[in-house]
Structure 1
Amino acid sequence: MTRPQPHVTHEVTNQAPPREGVDEYADFPALRRAVHAFGGAWGDDRLHDVGRLVGSAGFQADAERANRFTPELRTFDRWGRRVDEVDYDPAYHRVLGAAVAHGAHTSAWAEPRPGANVVRAAVFSLFAQVEPGHACPVSMSHAAVPSLAHAPSVAEVWVPRLLGREYDGRLAPFGEGEDRKRGALFGMAMTEKQGGSDVRAGTTLARPAAGDGDGSATEPGAPHLLTGHKWFCSAPMSDAFLVLARATRRAPSGEERPDDDVSCFLVPRVLDDGTRNVFRIQRLKDKLGNRSNASGEIELDGTVGYLVGEPGLGVRTIIEMVARTREDCVHGTAAGMRQGVAEALWHARHRTAFGARLVDQPAMTAVLADLALESEAATLTSLRLAAAFDAATARDDDGAQARAFSRLATAVAKYWVCKRGPAHAYEAMECLGGNGYTEAFPLARRYREQPVMAIWEGSGNVIALDVLRALARDPESFEAFDAEVSRATGASAILDRHVVRTRRLVAGVSRDPGAAPAQARRLVEALALALQASLMVRFAPEGSADAFVAARLGEDRGLGYGVLPSGTDLRAILAAHAG
């Protein structure tokens, strides 16, 4: 009897094994050096624990599943009652619960000490490296704490909830019973369809719930009833939100008039008596990336909110939250760059082509090394921002300088690092060839993810104009920034010349404010490269620093990745990016 004689066509060879079972912190020497350089060495044990968790096969599977089975809006229950809930895959809850348990959200506030923000930033980055969508509510929860300080009665209730490490995804009241929640997460809702980034154009109104005649409605913590439509509300299943609205006051004539400017309010999803606030999720946004995290369009209709800060100073109140979320955009982008380098290096070390491993092919080695340099510069920048927030708590001259530095450096870094993210993700994806373009590998997801952090919390022009405002209104911020960059003076002639040119640009926009907006992007790019190059010179290995400065600021610099100076020790650069 004739039997089948199949050829062996599906024997898998020359493919990389799964990149799992790794300690992502141990596997990234450049991150460890940065953590130690900026005062976070005491967090090594915690960071190794997180590194092993996010590098495990189980966590990676949850990250993939949370993005494959995306959130779904459930507007009504089966009997027609309005519920406005978002259903997530259980994998998303496991990822978010792990991040909260390890303090990725508010550990720097809960356990203040030197280096606390650096360690918290590294924890946040390790989680965001593998699953970035959950980082949105984590970041907003971290960022809400300083804004709440503007309403002590509100902070007394909500800050302890934010500092908790028990994640509970239900919409439920807080308390001590078994069915009660103990830990909270925050979101925010600022933009409206007609205004976008111009949040002062918002039309949402907030009417005093009581006490309009005796002045108590203007006191922080005063209850109001909000009515309006918010175009973007991220993580709408959060427990509370900071919302901008225009407070109304009753004139002596009896006419109700809205304030000229917006105020900030805390809007809980569940009220103290256990009833649900009015919080109608009209739809979920169908986003390019950030798929595991729901972003909604919401309607407020007599919705209870509590005044945070002074009336009419809502932007000033919430800007502290925005500054922290912008910082986390830098952390998140740097984390994405690290994922790109890690996956590309892993593939190149296990794949052969034309008789040699890909990592040993000179053209590929140059691309990998250049991607690694960009990742290291972004990592140093992000942790330097975190260190500035640590130092800013001091009530002395050093604290004042740290606060001034962070005001300018956060905007500069948010613009530049986040702008570099999408192109970096594409180049890393290309290193995997066709595999990289498929959803079976994580870099296609990362490529879609990186633009989020460049667009959210202020897109490029918004951030560049913020830099101009900081330079005009707060000259101390540039003095502090320049002092930071000047710490590398004399170490690189190329960098020194760039710093001189950058100072001339700053002086030029100061002399001619009318022409400054057209030069804003050029100026911010120059500031960012000065900061990154100075950090590389001070904290990176000498060969890596020299290559970065020459490739980004030298006369023969190129435009694409893989264009490094002749003679660069490519292998030494890559040694800093895998344990």
Structure 2
Amino acid sequence: MTDRTGAVDHRTATNQAPALVGHDVVTSDVALTEALVRHGSPDLVADLSGLGREAGSAEAREHGMLANRHHPELTAYDRWGNRVDEVEFHPSWHWLMERAVGHGLQAAPWERQRAGDPHAHLRRAAGFYAWSQTEPGHGCPISMTYAAVPALRADDAIAEQWTPLLASTSYDPGLRAPAAKAGALAGMGMTEKQGGSDVRANRTTAVATSEDGWYALHGHKWFTSAPMNDLFLVLAQAEGGLTCFVVPRVLEDGARNRLDVVRLKDKLGNRSNASSELELSGTLGQRLGDEGRGVRTIIEMVAATRLDCVLGSAALMRHALAEASWHVAHRSAFGGLLVDKPLMQNVVADLAVESEAATALAMRLAAAVDRPDDPHEAALRRIALPLAKFWVCKRTPAMVAEALECLGGNGYVEESGLPLMFRESPLNSIWEGSGNVNALDVLRALGREPQVLEAWIAEVGAARGADARLDRAVDDTLAMLGEDAGLEAGARRLASRMAACLQGSLLVRHAPPEVADAFCGSRFGTTYGGTFGMLTSGSLRAVVDRATPLA
């Protein structure tokens, strides 16, 4: 563009992709909608379309940016010197939280399932996956609230007290007595500085009080996110061993429980969510389950948060893919649109295959939660959750980095949103058990519960004969399982192959041939180098077009 003098007007940009806003995050994601129809019904897609449109709006994008630009602030003391330990969030954080809770992405599915909704958890999983693409940080308190309910069921009275508040679709922030709130949020305080994932090394102590079921807790919690939540599930050493406790932020009489926020973490990833260290000094907690059974009590919460780690990572993949595919569809270089360049097609198609495989596996696991009484589904959840948590979360950083590169320098600046996604991408591989913890959990399940291997074999076997490359991969994986020597050292290799076979089975059975062919030809091929953009088969343009959002 030139001005009146004929000089180039550098104040006006050309050849820039427009912002990806004004689209429906749900209906523009073909892999997601097909999974919803496959495991649920077309009604689920229609039900979630309103959420999808709001998630894809310019307003949601702006709130996501603002929530991370304006960090939460800790106020330890008020102006008069009273210890208050309050964290103040930007209004954009509350905007995001209000809608996440309003859409029932926290604990609402547990009540809906009890009321007879056959797809309550699938619906919620798809909504969580779609809404997480607005901003990842606020998904943490939403996820912990979802995961708390199955753990609370260890005590009927406690569950009856808290579940209606946690399942409420009313967002009601602020520190008040539970009876005065329209809705509540939950968190967890598991790890300590000397132990991390080894929670049995915890030193926080719990001493029974004169009130039945209540204990006084003393110790330090190393990583507790969302310290303004209304209750926390905490592990501490009681007389009978490691035990789980429900620690309310505010007691029933309105007094604040002693829960000192030492500091907020200066962490990698999102800055919208407050992650903190807590000190407990006579902090009151109600025992949940029997003394010495803390890990067993909390295990249901672990399973639910692992599912959300998979969903969150799949959401990051999808969001990064959407930005990359949208950019190359609108940006020209070297005489044509980037999407028409064969090598760029190869890269974006490979990213699309990775994203679709993650989405398909995540939704399959969410559908399994809707069938708690089915032995196959229960066994599949037991083995596939740590498999998916290991594999999908491990694949995310490399995938997001490649998507960022598709935008070039434009992807390296904060306004694009890709830097936040990249910083966030390692999180879910660490939270709720690192890669090693999950790979070893796979070995533990295989060694103790024979039915989990049977469930895995049945699931991958449903695609038997449809693709020779997948068949060979399954056979090779079964051969690995027979190699007892050095199995722990090879746990990551085994977990990755078992997870990839699950993904391959889903794509071969349900995805278009070009997607399944690209996946099996690369992930199970002999020439696959692990770098995106090295596909050797498949209709690449069709794969790219399938993944590109419409706006």
- 1:516: Cα distance to partner? 1.8
Q: Equivalences for 1:532-547 in 2 at 5 Å?
A: 532-547=503-518
Residue equivalent to 2:142: 138
From 209, 232, 235, give the equivalent of 2:226.
235
Residue equivalent to 2:451: 476
Matched, 1:527 2:498: yes
Matched, 1:224 2:222: no
Query: Structure 2 CA distance, aligned partners of 1:102 and 1:427?
Result: 32
| Contact residue 40 and residue 119 of structure 1 kept, 8 A | no
Query: Structure 2 CA distance, aligned partners of 1:40 and 1:266?
Result: 37
Q: Equivalences for 1:490-569 in 2 at 5 Å?
A: 490-509=465-484, 512=485, 515-566=486-537, 568-569=538-539
- 1:505: Cα distance to partner? 1.1
- 1:475: Cα distance to partner? 1.2
Matched, 1:454 2:429: yes
Letter in 1 for 2:143: S
Q: Counterpart of 2:414 in 1: which secondary structure?
A: coil
| Contact residue 463 and residue 508 of structure 2 kept, 8 A | yes
- 1:365: Cα distance to partner? 0.8
Query: Structure 2 CA distance, aligned partners of 1:429 and 1:521?
Result: 27
Letter in 1 for 2:320: G
| Contact residue 26 and residue 48 of structure 1 kept, 8 A | yes
- 1:46: Cα distance to partner? 2.4
Residue equivalent to 1:256: none
| Contact residue 64 and residue 92 of structure 2 kept, 8 A | yes
Residue equivalent to 1:251: none
Query: Structure 1 CA distance, aligned partners of 2:278 and 2:529?
Result: 46
Query: Structure 2 CA distance, aligned partners of 1:377 and 1:160?
Result: 35
Residue equivalent to 1:415: 390
Matched, 1:341 2:316: no
Q: Counterpart of 2:426 in 1: which secondary structure?
A: helix
Residue equivalent to 2:203: 203
Query: Structure 1 CA distance, aligned partners of 2:83 and 2:167?
Result: 31
- 1:290: Cα distance to partner? 2.4
| Contact residue 40 and residue 116 of structure 1 kept, 8 A | no
Residues 142 and 460 of structure 1: CA distance in aligned 2, closer, same or farther (over 3 Å): same
Query: Structure 1 CA distance, aligned partners of 2:488 and 2:223?
Result: 27
| Contact residue 22 and residue 56 of structure 1 kept, 8 A | yes
- 1:108: Cα distance to partner? 1.7
Matched, 1:191 2:191: yes
Query: Structure 1 CA distance, aligned partners of 2:290 and 2:481?
Result: 34
Matched, 1:126 2:96: no
- 1:182: Cα distance to partner? 1.2
Residue equivalent to 1:255: none
Q: Equivalences for 1:90-489 in 2 at 5 Å?
A: 90-112=91-113, 113-175=117-179, 180-210=180-210, 222-248=213-239, 259=240, 261-392=241-372, 394=373, 399-489=374-464
- 1:119: Cα distance to partner? 0.9
Query: Structure 2 CA distance, aligned partners of 1:43 and 1:458?
Result: 31
Query: Structure 1 CA distance, aligned partners of 2:476 and 2:398?
Result: 26
Q: Counterpart of 1:384 in 2: which secondary structure?
A: helix
Query: Structure 1 CA distance, aligned partners of 2:540 and 2:63?
Result: 35
| Contact residue 377 and residue 533 of structure 1 kept, 8 A | yes
- Measured against aligned partners, the alpha-carbon deviations of 1:165-223 in whole angstroms (never above 9, x if no partner) come to 01122111233xxxx31111100000000111000100111111116xxxxx5xxxx11
Query: Structure 2 CA distance, aligned partners of 1:181 and 1:24?
Result: 32
Residue equivalent to 1:57: 58
- Measured against aligned partners, the alpha-carbon deviations of 1:300-322 in whole angstroms (never above 9, x if no partner) come to 11111101111100000001101
Letter in 1 for 2:256: R
Letter in 1 for 2:177: P
| Contact residue 109 and residue 167 of structure 2 kept, 8 A | no
- 1:558: Cα distance to partner? 2.9
| Contact residue 316 and residue 396 of structure 2 kept, 8 A | yes
- 1:7: Cα distance to partner? 5.2
| Contact residue 133 and residue 319 of structure 2 kept, 8 A | yes
Query: Structure 2 CA distance, aligned partners of 1:71 and 1:451?
Result: 21
Which stretches in structure 2 are left out of the alignment for 5+ residues? Answer: none
Q: Counterpart of 2:215 in 1: which secondary structure?
A: strand
Q: Counterpart of 2:488 in 1: which secondary structure?
A: helix
Query: Structure 2 CA distance, aligned partners of 1:576 and 1:307?
Result: 51
Residue equivalent to 1:27: 28
Letter in 2 for 1:308: L
Query: Structure 1 CA distance, aligned partners of 2:41 and 2:98?
Result: 24
- Measured against aligned partners, the alpha-carbon deviations of 1:445-474 in whole angstroms (never above 9, x if no partner) come to 100011000111111111111111111111
Q: Counterpart of 1:243 in 2: which secondary structure?
A: strand
- 1:153: Cα distance to partner? 1.2
- 1:555: Cα distance to partner? 2.1
Query: Structure 2 CA distance, aligned partners of 1:285 and 1:370?
Result: 36
| Contact residue 341 and residue 372 of structure 1 kept, 8 A | yes
Matched, 1:572 2:547: no
| Contact residue 75 and residue 86 of structure 2 kept, 8 A | yes
Letter in 2 for 1:233: T
Q: Counterpart of 2:347 in 1: which secondary structure?
A: helix
Letter in 2 for 1:199: V
Provide the TM-score with structure 1 as the length reference: 0.92
Query: Structure 2 CA distance, aligned partners of 1:11 and 1:94?
Result: 33
- 1:575: Cα distance to partner? 2.7
| Contact residue 133 and residue 290 of structure 1 kept, 8 A | yes
Query: Structure 2 CA distance, aligned partners of 1:544 and 1:142?
Result: 33
Letter in 2 for 1:152: D
- Measured against aligned partners, the alpha-carbon deviations of 1:69-97 in whole angstroms (never above 9, x if no partner) come to 11111111111111101111000011011
Q: How many residues align?
A: 542
Matched, 1:15 2:16: yes
Query: Structure 1 CA distance, aligned partners of 2:457 and 2:186?
Result: 35
Q: What is the Cα-based RMSD across aligned positions, in Å?
A: 1.3
| Contact residue 320 and residue 404 of structure 2 kept, 8 A | yes
Query: Structure 1 CA distance, aligned partners of 2:526 and 2:278?
Result: 51
Query: Structure 2 CA distance, aligned partners of 1:263 and 1:390?
Result: 29
- 1:525: Cα distance to partner? 0.8
Percent identity, aligned pairs only, is 51
| Contact residue 97 and residue 166 of structure 1 kept, 8 A | yes
Residue equivalent to 1:252: none
Q: Counterpart of 2:409 in 1: which secondary structure?
A: helix
Letter in 2 for 1:262: L
Query: Structure 2 CA distance, aligned partners of 1:414 and 1:499?
Result: 20
Letter in 1 for 2:455: A
- 1:340: Cα distance to partner? 0.7
